[in-house]
Amino acid sequence: MTALHLIPEVAPALAPVAGPVVGPVVGPGADVAAAVTPDAGPAARPAPPALSLRGVRKEYPNGFVALDDVTFDVAEREIIAILGPSGCGKSTLLRCVNGLEPIQAGTIALDGASVTGPGTDWSEVRQRVGMVFQNYELFPHLTVLGNLLLGPLKVQKRAKAEATERALELLARVGLADRAGDYPRQLSGGQKQRVAIVRALMMQPEVLLLDEITASLDPEMVREVLDVVLELAADGMTMLIVTHEMSFARAIADRVLFLDAGQIVEQATPDVFFTAPATDRAKQFLNLFEFRTPTKKTASGRGVGHRGDGARPERQPRGPTPWPSQPTPRPTAHRPS
Ligand SMILES: Nc1ncnc2c1ncn2[C@@H]1O[C@H](COP(=O)(O)OP(=O)(O)OP(=O)(O)O)[C@@H](O)[C@H]1O
Ligand SMILES: [Mg+2]
């Protein structure tokens, strides 16, 4: 067993392995580019979506259907926040896009070309679709630089000098210029996660998948990691972000996909989703993120806030706090309309 196989989340991204097994392909996504503009000539044809899912179904070997007929497109430079209750299928969705989980039906296409066909080179796909996990998944026996060079040198066969220069450049950008020689155990959680983001960027992905990358971090570290993600957004990186940081999702996303029980039940702009969710399920979900101070009981059994007129103290619904207060300006020239 090689070192690459020690960490199951990472090994598939670095080593060529058998790709997802796909059952009968259904839905209109086999050729997304053609489906978008069937009649237009090449000159008039708009760019295909960076990522496109059509009728994706994921059934685990025990028969549990984790994704059911999931269909959506992601434009280049678009940022999608994937929200939903625990167990609704968010991680499964990202793992399917990255080829870490086989799908049983549907198609996934990158830049208009299906990657769910039998001849898919998953090693190549995983270079085009980067993924960052909650638990960093760094190799403990390698330095920061060693972790960063592994994929570029072993998989992409890039020159060491070029890859090292790029690694140091990216480390500097995330505030870790002086930590290249450290081992993961010498870093804080936030620092490890920033290294994990840089590792994904080292492969020069077209799409980046972030799966609750701040869920294990203390609040201060959450901020430092999310700031890096905001910078990526400003750079125009196409991203699918699974997060429980609602105010962050609201600030960064172009669109929210709300999943429940393996299905997309709602998709909207963040402003619409967070202020006027269309479904009861989404309303219930958003209510989980509101904290209301319980009325304290006095000796008389009446709440402190009791106004003596029989009326209950008014509760003001609170939306999520905008995060950050001044969102980083993002380039608009190439934004999807
Ligand atoms: N290997 C597996 N075998 C069977 N069922 C699984 C497997 N992995 C996940 N599931 C189930 O699939 C469903 C979706 O899981 P998933 O991890 O995608 O949820 P999630 O939305 O990411 O949840 P969370 O917010 O808690 O991370 C869950 O009900 C889970 O129990
Ligand atoms: Mg998850």
C-alpha–C-alpha distance, residues 149 and 164, integer Å: 7
C-alpha–C-alpha distance, residues 7 and 63, integer Å: 26
Q: Residue 32: what pLDDT?
A: 34
Q: Which residues surround ligand 2, an ion (CB under 5 A)?
A: 91
C-alpha–C-alpha distance, residues 53 and 3, integer Å: 33
**pLDDT tens, position by position, 15-53:** 333 333 333 322 333 333 333 334 445 566 788 999 999
Pick the ligand that lies closest to the CA of residue 210.
Answer: 2
- Show the domains of the chain with their CATH numbers: 3-34+47-287 (3.40.50.300)
How far is C-alpha 268 from the geometric centre of its chain's CA atoms?
A: 17
Q: What 3-state DSSP class applies to 140? A: coil
Q: Is the CB of 181 under 6 A from ligand 1?
A: no
CB-side neighbour CA atoms (13 Å) of 76: 13
Which region, left, alpha or beta, applies to residue 294 given φ > 0 means left and ψ of -120 to 50 means alpha?
A: beta
Q: Give me the average pLDDT of each 10-residue run along the chain (337 residues).
A: 34 35 32 39 76 98 97 97 97 95 95 88 90 94 98 95 97 96 96 96 96 91 92 95 93 96 97 96 90 61 39 37 40 39
Strand partners, 107: 54
DSSP secondary-structure letter at 135? T
Q: Is the CB of 288 under 6 A from ligand 1?
A: no
Q: Residue 21: what pLDDT?
A: 34
Q: Residue 205: what pLDDT?
A: 96
Q: For the whole prediction, is pTM greater than 0.75?
A: yes
Q: Residue 152: what pLDDT?
A: 96
**pLDDT tens, position by position, 248-272:** 999 999 999 999 999 999 999 999 9
